[in-house]
């Protein structure tokens, strides 16, 4: 299958040597970029970004003898974009990603994930724990919220009738304002900002950002809760090294780190001054965690 073309200015922002493909994961296709050869490391983004988010981390790891695989979630990046919001569920994305892993990484794999990429990767890993060599997570959740929780302002906004549709589908939110979630507010500007907006430049392709925002629970009977429980079980059951690299200035998930530390007291933890999309601000510590975890075996 021929891959979608990239404009020259955008392709030039990726590290050299990129190979791209489309993988059928059950009626929809996921776009995959990869570099290098060696033990496989799969890096999964969240909402509303795409594999472009990992380009600086990939650049840090190019000389480390690893095969770096960077897919785009269905609905984002250069993957297929279903227009039906109901297609976007945590179990659905986990199933798609699991099929992708079976196709592009059928052996041992190190998983690296952030935002929705964390639970999506864990949902898929639940049936493949023996193959997971290590896990690196940054600014994500791994399980359901506690009873009595209050949804963030961002996620409450995503449920406002009419207003949310106008902001997300017509206004290009939140991909046009990602830098507001950063520790350094100038970290996603200029061509970097355009790089995140480019795959969602067409109004008809903007279903996923709002659908993924609404996948976040706003009550304990939310449809994502059972799937998140499965993710947390996988996170605690995994017999492999875990590293957590966190942007502590993330306005939504900065404080979640303590919960993950309690679930996995064996995890190696790196705190940074970055925000939510920490790959843009601190690619070095993330790369260091990948090197560490990819080279270890849990005893």
Query: In which element (H, E) is residue 157 found?
Result: helix 153-157
Nearest alpha carbon to residue 99 among 24, 34, 21 = 24
Domains in the chain: how many in total?
Answer: 1
Residues in CB range of 185: below 8 A, 6 or more apart? 179
Q: State the pLDDT at residue 1.
A: 67
Q: Is the peptide bond before 174 cis (omega within 30 degrees of 0)?
A: yes
239 falls within a domain: yes
* Cβ pair 231, 143 in contact under 8 A: yes
* Cβ pair 248, 110 in contact under 8 A: no
Low pLDDT (below 50) residues in the chain: 297-299
163 falls within a domain: yes
299 falls within a domain: no
1 falls within a domain: no
219 falls within a domain: yes
Q: State the pLDDT at residue 185.
A: 96
Q: Is the peptide bond before 80 cis (omega within 30 degrees of 0)?
A: no
184 falls within a domain: yes
2 falls within a domain: no
CATH code (residue 126): 3.40.50.1820
Q: In terms of pTM, does the model score above 0.85?
A: yes
Q: State the pLDDT at residue 299.
A: 38
**Pairs from 171-174 (Cβ < 8 Å, separation ≥ 24):** 172/197, 172/200, 172/206, 173/209, 174/48, 174/209, 174/213
286 falls within a domain: yes
User: 278 is in which domain, residue-wise?
Assistant: 8-294
């Amino acid at each position: 299958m021929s891959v979608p073309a990239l404009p020259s200015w955008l392709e030039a922002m990726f590290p050299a040597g990129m190979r791209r493909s489309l993988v059928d994961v059950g009626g929809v296709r996921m776009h995959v970029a990869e570099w290098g050869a060696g033990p496989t490391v799969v890096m999964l983004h969240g909402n509303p970004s795409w594999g472009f988010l990992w380009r600086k981390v990939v650049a840090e790891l190019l000389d480390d003898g690893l095969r770096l695989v960077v897919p785009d979630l269905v609905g984002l990046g250069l993957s297929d974009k279903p227009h039906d919001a109901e297609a976007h569920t945590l179990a659905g994305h986990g199933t798609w990603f699991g099929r992708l892993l079976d196709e592009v990484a059928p052996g041992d794999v190190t998983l690296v994930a952030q935002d929705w990429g964390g639970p999506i990767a864990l949902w898929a890993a639940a049936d493949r724990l023996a193959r997971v060599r290590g896990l690196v997570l940054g600014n994500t959740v791994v399980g359901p919220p506690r009873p009595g929780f209050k949804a963030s302002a961002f996620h409450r906004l995503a449920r406002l009738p009419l207003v949310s549709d106008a902001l997300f589908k017509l206004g290009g939110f939140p991909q046009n304002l990602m830098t507001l979630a950063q520790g350094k507010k100038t970290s996603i500007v200029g061509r970097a900002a355009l790089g995140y907006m480019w795959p969602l430049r067409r109004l008809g392709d903007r279903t996923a950002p709002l659908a993924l925002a609404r996948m976040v629970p706003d009550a304990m009977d939310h449809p994502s809760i059972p799937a998140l429980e499965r993710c947390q079980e996988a996170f605690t059951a995994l017999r492999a090294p875990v590293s957590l690299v966190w942007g502590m200035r993330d306005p939504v998930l900065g404080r979640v780190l303590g919960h993950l530390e309690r679930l996995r007291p064996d995890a190696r933890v790196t705190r940074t001054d970055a925000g939510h999309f920490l790959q843009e601000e601190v690619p070095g510590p993330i790369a260091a965690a990948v090197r560490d975890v990819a080279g270890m075996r849990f005893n």
